[in-house]
Structure 1
Amino acid sequence: MGQVLERIEGFAEEIRVAGGEGEKLMRLAEGSVLRLRDAGAIRMLQPKGYGGLEVHPREFAETTMAIGAMDGATGWVTGIVGVHPWELAFFDTKAQDEVWGQDPDTWMASPYAPMGVARPVDGGYLLSGRWSFSTGTDHCQWVMIGAAVGDEQGKRLMPPRTLHVLLPRSDYEIDQQSWDVVGLRGTGSKDLIVKDAFVPAYRTIDAAKVFDGTAPKEAGRGETLYNFPFSCIFPLGITSSLIGIAEGALACHIAAQKSRVAITGVAIKDDPYVLFAIGEAAAEIAASRAAILETVDRFWDMVEKGQEVSFEMRAIGRRTQTAAAWRVVRAVDEIFARSGGGALQMKTPLQRFWRDAHAGLSHAIHVPGSIFHSSALIQLGGEPQGIHRSMI
């Protein structure tokens, strides 16, 4: 067991209970935030030079799964906010000093989608726009967001070029009314509004260089962790939290079924059909967990040996990750449908896991179309182009 997980396990029940509070607040309860900070959950991928832990991505994934099984929203925040320190390691050291110099537990929100435009000015850019789905943003002091580079009039350049930029909390507004959703309510994934904020050049990085692995090399990062493929580590936190949510749902279901008697008068443990469904769902969840961890271990070993993780391997890795997400949500549906009417009660955590699972599956990183297309095409000797190379 990793050191972060060992710390957080001591507060598992507290985090479970706080999940209900977070659902009402539409952000994490302060107690859960405190436990994540104390345990170092968001510092797992952070450079040691800035108080980070630099753990193996497998440990990051397993910890995120465990937290997601306690409470879906807390796991989701861990998996998403926890990846940002990995990328900040590639930024100019001046930017890293600004974020972590005074407090290594400073958190950064996102998203990466280039929903705003960065207009070039002397020394940097002026940034404006509105970004949706900024997970955990109420608890973050900085944001790392995607921005399309524009011309002097603010018109997006063609072909497009995307930057990832850093902004302090004073440079953006959180729309507190923008998050009222059916699942993952406690993540507080609200909209951000930026109006002509000046971003110095040293607080920007070319997104394409992050995606293709150039950024860590230019930053002088020789560690295996920071040369790990972006297309594996970024989805890893998201899908790991979703697998954890499924594991939490399964645990709730099994606990409730041990003493349950169906309306027919037959005890659930004596119903062979329900037992088959539970066993099949458990197997699917376990297989999904094993599949993404195997990919992480294999890629890590390759990077550590100085070997290239090819586009084909990355595409298959994304296929594995995406398929794992869909499998675990289907498994959650199978057990929820056999949980009886009591599972519909809002006071039960199972219904929240069920809603959180479906909300998590809707993330863009879990859309299978182009990923399945690319992985199959390249294995057949083709060469994916355009959107079919995106996020691979």
Structure 2
Amino acid sequence: MTQTLEPTSPGSTDVDASRPKREVIAKATALVPLIRQYAEQGSADRRVAPEVIAALEAEGLFKLFVPRRYGGYEENLRTAMETIAEVARGDGSTAWAVALLNVCTWFGTTFSQQAQDDVFGANPDAKCCGIFTPGSKAERVEGGYLVSGQWPYSSGSFAADWGTLGIALDVPEGEDPRALALIPKEAWTIKPTWFVAGMKGSGSDTIVVKDHFVPDHRIQRFVDMREADFATPHRSEERNSNMAFIPVAALILVGAQLGLARHALDLTLEKLPNKMVAYTKYKAAKNSPTHQLGVAAAATKFNLAELLMQQATSDIDNAAARGELPDLITRGRIRNNTGIIAELVKDGIDILMTTNGAGSFADANILNQIWRDAEIAGRHAYVTPEVGKEVYGRLLIGADDALTMDV
């Protein structure tokens, strides 16, 4: 794929490596009508419609982080967040699948060259899904591990070619045993377990693997990935091979939230102004102070969420361009603000539901779908606001121990 702008390479003195690539984002915007057309079908089928997956693939929107050497866009995190948000203006479930397939495919690009060739060499359009939680068995054998287990909530697994799945390594006591293993789709089955109130079409079912051999070159230790000490040999020339692992993995989860907020506000500004306010003198809600204040409050929360996203992507993208890992305080702030973004969006959508009236909760009202999607998306473990606040607060105040190793 061709690009107009060259990526910022590690060591660059460019003052902002987080500039969004508008022509890539525009590809997602152009697909919004199609995504909306198939959104209901995706929810009913519990996976994004094949027609939508094909359209996203045709525009390369599962290859946002994939290196150019494999035909990808090799874009920065800001562009990915904006692209996911635009997809979410069409449908939250589709955006969630796009987010997880992109970030897990990025994980795949950080593995050893041999592993990357296994994944992308034969199929440059390969997509990865992933789950960090270790499966039930990882037995050390000659040359690798024999892996079995179940990995629930594997979003987008229905469209993935590989999984970056958590395993527990045989390591000395006291060391972090966690690792990610690249496992091809031929080695797993999908158990239908995703029956939920929102994000129904994300396909977040359970991957099941039984006694699959994973060679050592397809395994990366979690502790190395957390410190951006990736196995890829391309860190000196590829910015994305230096991105902060946990901050990216967490922040990507609120890309869909931002798009849901944009869609909710668009619908409100389109439908609310001339709506009669029942049991009052107001013939049009646009003249009602209650509704004016409600819309302003929600819009302000959404704007704050957007600003926090832009700050976080700037911290991550610019550090990656310098070949550096953001310091612990910055990473803690990003973890904290990821939860705050979700909180702001959920609160803002709640305000708009009230402002638009009880009809917002009708099954036929798209605001109802947006509300349910935002409620589910905002409850991912990496997004939980209270955990993020504690992580950040402990780092700021110098607590004796960390709440989590995942920063």
Instruction: Provide TM-score, normalisation by structure 2.
Output: 0.89
Percent pairwise identity:
24
| Superposed CA offset, 1:222-241 (max 9, x none) | 22222121122112221111
| One-letter amino acid matched to 1:21 | Q
Q: Which moved more, 1:94-103 or 1:119-128?
A: 94-103
Deviation at 1:18, TM superposition (A): 1.1
1:75-154 equivalences in 2 (<5 Å): 75-150=95-170
Q: Which amino acid aligns with 2:328?
A: F
What residue number does 2:184 align with? Answer: 168
SS at match of 2:139: strand
Alpha-carbon shift at residue 242 of structure 1 (Å): 1.4
- SS of alignment partner, residue 346 of structure 1: coil
Aligned residue in 1 for 2:29 = 9
Q: In structure 2, what is the Cα distance between the partners aligned to 1:170 and 1:253?
A: 45
Q: CA RMSD in A?
A: 1.9
Opposite residue 290 of structure 1, the aligned amino acid is: L
Contact kept in structure 2, 1:8 and 1:35, CA below 8 Å: no
Q: 1:253 aligns with which of 246, 268, 286?
A: 268
What is residue 357 of structure 1 aligned with on the other side?
374
Paired AA for residue 149 in structure 2: G
Matched ranges for 1:61-72 at <5 A:
61-72=81-92
Query: Which aligned pairs between 1:200-239 and structure 2 lie closer than 5 A?
Result: 200-215=215-230, 219-222=233-236, 223-239=238-254
Call closer, same or farther: CA 1:302–1:128 in 2, change over 3 Å.
closer
Contact 2:260 2:370 in 1 (8 A): yes
Q: State how far apart, in whole Å, the 2-side matches of 1:96 and 1:306 are.
A: 21
**3-state DSSP of counterpart to 2:179:** strand
Q: Which runs of 5+ in 1 are unaligned?
A: none
Query: Which residue in 2 is equivalent to 1:19?
Result: 39
Cα 1:298/1:142, change in 2 over 3 Å: closer
8 A contact 1:46–1:52 mirrored in 2: yes
Distance 1:56 1:374, change over 3 A: same
Q: CA contact under 8 A between 2:97 and 2:203: conserved in structure 1? A: no
What letter matches 1:7 in structure 2? K
Q: Does 1:278 align with 2:295?
A: yes
Would the aligned equivalents of 1:65 and 1:241 in 2 still touch at CA under 8 Å? Answer: yes
Check the 8 A contact 2:32/2:86 in 1, yes or no: no
**SS of alignment partner, residue 301 of structure 2:** helix
1:311 to 322, 328, 336: 328
What is the alpha-carbon distance in structure 2 between the residues aligned to residue 351 and residue 297 of structure 1?
33
Q: Contact 2:191/2:208 (CA < 8 Å) preserved in 1?
A: yes
Q: 1:323 to 1:39 in 2, by over 3 A?
A: same
1:32-52 deviation digits (Å, cap 9, x = unpaired): 111211111110111111111
**Aligned equivalents of 1:82, 1:141: Cα separation in 2:** 12
Asked whether the equivalents of residues 180 and 221 of structure 2 are also in contact (C-alpha less than 8 Å), the reply is yes
2:228–2:325 CA contact under 8 A, matched in 1? no
Aligned residue in 2 for 1:190: 205
Q: Is the 8 A contact 2:148 2:209 kept in 1?
A: yes
Structure with a larger share of its residues in helix = 1
Give, in angstroms, the shift of residue 370 of structure 1. 3.5
Distance 1:299 1:101, change over 3 A: closer
Q: Residue 157 and residue 41 in structure 1: after superposition, are their counterparts in 2 closer, same or farther (change >3 A)? A: farther
Deviations 1:186-231 (A, max 9, x none): 1010011111111111111111111111115x63412222212112
Q: Which residues of structure 2 form unaligned runs of 5+?
A: 1-20
Cα distance in 2, alignment partners of residues 348 and 370 from structure 1: 33
Q: What is the number of equivalent residue pairs in this alignment?
A: 384
Aligned partner letter, 2:26:
E
